[in-house]
Amino acid sequence: MMSGKPLKVTIKERDECIGCGACWGICPEFFEENLEDGLSQILAAYRFEGDIAEGRAPETLEECVREAEEMCPVGIIHVEEDP
Ligand code: SF4
């Protein structure tokens, strides 16, 4: 279901990321590898106040960010309604 509103997406416990690449494999429009530490980060265009671990996903990316949330093996990607 499309919500019609941007979604808040966080990599909440980013230090627990294992750099498996699932999220940026599934949703390269939103996630990418940080080349300094090999962990996931949010693409600059979608970051919230410049935070590499918090962003806002437009409706068009809802399906892929939710799939990344489901597939992250350590469960650190969180997709929520942005109140
Ligand atoms: S899927 Fe999870 S563990 Fe894998 S790179 Fe993305 S955030 Fe890190």
Instruction: Please report the pLDDT score of residue 83 as a whole number.
Output: 73
Supply the pLDDT for residue 3.
52
What local confidence, expressed as pLDDT, does residue 9 receive? 98
Report which residue type is found at 58: P
| Ligand 1 mutation target, pool 12, 27, 76, most atoms within 8 A of CB | 76
Domains of the chain by residue range: 7-81
Q: How far is 78 from 31, CA to CA, in rounded Å?
A: 13
Task: Indicate whether residue 12 lines ligand 1 (CB < 6 A).
Answer: no
Per-residue model confidence as pLDDT tens digits over 3-42: 578 899 999 999 999 999 999 999 999 999 999 999 999 9
Whose Cα sits closest to atom 4 in ligand 1? 20
CA 1 – ligand 1 centroid, Å: 24
CATH domain 7-81 topology = Alpha-Beta Plaits (3.30.70)
Residue pair 46/30 in contact by the 8 Å Cβ criterion: yes
Amino acid of residue 62 = E
pTM: 0.93
